[in-house]
Structure 1
Amino acid sequence: MFYLILVLLPVSLFAQRTPSISYITQEQIKDIGGTVELDCSVQYAKDYTVLWTKTLNERSDSVFLSTGSSLVIKDSRFALRHDPSSSTYTLQIKDIQETDAGIYQCQVVLSVINKISADVTLSVRRPPVITDNSTQSLVVSEGKSVQMECYAGGYPHPTISWRRENNAILPTGGATYTGSVLKINSVRKEDRGTYYCVADNGVSKGDRRNINLEVEFAPFITVPRPRLGQALQYDMDLECHIEAYPLPAIVWVKDEVQLSNNQHYSISHFATADEFTDSTIRVITIEKRQYGDYICKAVNKLGQAEAKVNLFETVIPVCPPACGQAHYGDAQYVTSSTVVLVIGFLGVLMGFH
C-alpha cells in the first residue's frame, strides 16, 4: 500500500498544475506601414483555450482577434502562427495603421469566470498634428495680458516650440520658447505680428501653425519735416505719418479750424499697412494768410495724438512740389524750358555785339 501511494503521487501533482503564461512580448513601438509580431508562450494549457484580444485602453471593450490557432478577425493584415513544441501563439500585424495602436492581451480561459492574462502595448509612431483647440488669431489692447496656446497630437508626444516671423525676439526673450502656452504679461505694440507654433516629435517634418497677434494701441505721430518753406503763389505738401490700430480718424487743423478739401487745400490719406497711414495736406497757391502752424491730429478708441508742421515764407520757390513752373500774378506762368530758351536767345544777341 505504501508503494502504491508513491507511484500515484506524481500523477496527482501533474493533474493539478495550473496553466500559466511564461512569456509575453515587451512593449512595441512601430512606424505606420511596418510589421510587428506579438508572442505569447503558455504552459500546461493544452486543454484550455488561448485567446488574443485587443483594447484601445484599459476602460474600453475588448475585440477578439483569435481563438486557439485560428483567427477570428477578418483582416488580411493579421496572421496567427501556433508552435506546438513551445506552445507559443504569435500574432502578426502587417502594414500597421494608426488604429492598430492599443493593448493586446493574451488570455488562457480557465472557466466562465476565471482566466489568466498578460498584456503587451503596441504604440504607433504618428506625425504631430496641431489640434483645433489651439489659438488661431488674437486681438488685444496694449498693456493687457495675453496668452497663445498650441496643442498637438502624435506619438511620441510632440514638443511645442514658438518663434516669431523673421526670427524676431520673442516677448519672453530669445528667439525661441518651448511650451504649449506662450504668455505675455503686458503686451506692447511691438509685440504684434505673426508667431509660429511648431510641433515636433521626430516623425516626418512636424506641423506648424501661424498665429497672428494684433495689438490695439493709441495713435503715434511722426513728422518727417517739421518746418517747411515755400514762396508765395506756389504749392507745398505737408506730411505726417500715423501709427495706430485700429485705423484712426485723421484731421488737419490750422488756427483751431479743421481744414477740408477746397480750392486752397487738398488732403489725402494713404494706408501703407493695417497700422500705418501717411497723411498729406497740399497748400495750394500759397497766400500770406496760409503761412503758420498746421496740426495733424489722429484719434481712435484707445487715445489720440497730434503733431505740428510749420509753413513759412521763402523768396525762392522750393522743389518739389514747385518744380518746372513759376507763377506771375494769378494766371500767367512760364515753363522752365521757356526760361532756358529766353536765356539762350539773349546769349545769341550778346554774341552779335
Structure 2
Amino acid sequence: MAVSKVVVVFFLSILVNNVNGQRSPTISYISQTQIKDIGGTVELSCSVQYTQEFSVIWMKLDNGNSLPISSGSSLILHDSRFALRYDPSSSTYLLQIKDMQETDAGTYACQIILSTNNRISAEVEVQVRRPPFISDNSTRSVVVSEGEAVEMECYAGGYPVPRISWRRENNAILPTGGSIYRGNKLKIKAIRKEDRGTYYCVAENGVGRGTKRNIAVEVEFAPVVTVPRPRLGQALQYDMDLECHVEAYPPPAITWEKDEITLSNNQHYKISHFAVADEFTDTTLRVITIEKKQYGKYVCKAANKLGTSEGKVDLFESIIPVCPPACGSSRYGDASTLSTSTVALFITMLILIFRNFRTQH
C-alpha cells in the first residue's frame, strides 16, 4: 500500500507540473486611470503571471505610434524623469514618471510579447491637468452692420474641460442681458451700435488663473449728426465757430454747405475735423470776419455707405460780439496782451452804455 501511495503522488506531481507549464501568461493587474498635475509624479503598476519565458514591456501609445519605454526590468527610454522597478515577489513592473509634462498625457500599455504577431496587452490612461487655452478656431473679431444677427464662438482645450463664459469691457451689460453669459456661442439677434466694443471670451478649469481672448466687435451704422448750438449770433466783422458732432462707422465724409454750395477752406471759411474715436468726429466751420452775405443757414452733412445725415446751424447778426472766438487767443486779465478784437469789444460796450445813459437823462 505504501508503494502504491508513492506512485500516485509521483504521477500527480508530474501532472501538476505539466499543467503549470501549459498555463498561458496573463496580466493580473493594471493601474486605473491616473490624473496628475503638471510637475507631479505618477506610478503605473502592472502585475503579470506565468511570464518566465516571455518579455514584459511598457509602451506609450500616441496617435497610432508606439514608443517603447522598458523591456523586462530595464529602461529603454533614456529620460531621467522615468524610472522602472520590478518586484519579483508579486511579479509587478512599476513605471514611475516624475516632473510630469503635458506631453506625458496619453495611453500607456503593459504588454507580454508572445510572438511577433501575438501579444497580451492592458492599458492605463494618464491625464495631466492642463491650464485652459483658447483654440484658433474661435472668433477673433467681428464687423457687422447694425440690425444684423451676430454669432461669436469660443472653444478651449485643457484638462479638466474648461468652462466658457462671455463678458464685456468694464463689465458692461451684454446684449443677451446680464454681465456674464455662459456657453461656447454668444448670439445677438439684432445688434445695435451701442453693442460695439470689446468682448471677452474667458476659459477656466480650476488649473491656473484661466485665460481669455479679446474680441473686437465693430458695428457699421449710418451717420447720426447732432448740433450742440443750432442758433448762433455774432456781430459783423467778427469770427464765429459753427459746430457739429458726428457719430458713424465706417468714418463718414463730412462737408459744410451754405445755399446748396459746398464750402472749402479760403479767406472766408476754415473747416476742421477732430476724430475723438473711430466712430466719433467733431467738425467745426469757422466763419472768418463775417460779412452780411455770410449770415443764414449752414448745413453740416455726413455720409458713409450706410446712409446720410445732416444738421443745420442758423447764423444771425447780433450787435454785441460773442467772445470767444471774437476775443481771439488773448489771455484774459493781462492788459498788455489784449487783442484788437478785445479792445473793439470794450469800445462797443462803452458806446452802448453811454447811449443808454443819455437816453435815461
The residue that corresponds to 2:36 in the other structure is 30
Indicate whether 1:148 and 2:152 are aligned.
Answer: yes
How many residue pairs end up in the alignment? 335
Partner of 1:262: 266
2:303 maps to what in 1? 299
Against the structure 1 CA distance between its residues 132 and 226, is the aligned structure 2 distance closer, same or farther, given a 3 Å change threshold?
Answer: same
User: TM-score, normalised to structure 1's length?
Assistant: 0.87
What's 2:211 paired with? 207
- Alpha-carbon RMSD across the aligned residues, in angstroms, is 2.6
One-letter amino acid of the counterpart of residue 149, structure 1: E
From 177, 186, 191, the equivalent of 1:187 is: 191
Structure 1 residue aligned with 2:102, among 98, 102, 106?
98
Match of 2:313 in 1: 309
| Equivalences for residues 271-282 of structure 1 within 5 A | 271-282=275-286
Contact 1:248 1:300 in 2 (8 A): yes
What residue ranges of structure 2 are gaps of 5+ in the alignment?
331-339, 355-361
TM-score of the two chains, using structure 2 as the length reference: 0.85
- Pick aligned residue for 2:20 from 14, 34, 37: 14
Amino acid at match of 1:73: L
Task: Determine if contact 1:198/1:207 at 8 Å carries over to the other structure.
Answer: yes
Q: What amino acid is the match of 2:287?
A: V
Cα shift readout 1:224-247 (whole Å, capped 9, x = no counterpart): 111112222222111110011111
Describe how 1:1-353 pairs up with structure 2 within 5 A: 3=8, 8-57=14-63, 60-323=64-327, 335=343
CA deviation map 1:246-276 (0-9, x unaligned): 1111111122222222222221111111111
Letter in 2 for 1:22: S
Question: Would the aligned equivalents of 1:107 and 1:118 in 2 still touch at CA under 8 Å?
Answer: yes
Measured after TM superposition, the shift of residue 140 of structure 1 is 1.8
- Secondary structure at 1:335 match in 2: helix
Structure 1 residues 336 and 254, CA gap change in structure 2 (3 angstroms): closer
Structure 2 partner of 1:329: none
How far is 1:333 from its partner?
6.1
1:197 deviates by 1.6
Distance across 2 between alignment mates of 1:178 and 1:151:
12
Cα distance per residue 1:32-57 (max 9 Å; x no partner) = 22211101111233333211111124
Matched-pair contact (CA < 8 Å) for 1:56–1:101: no
For 1:335, the aligned partner's letter is V
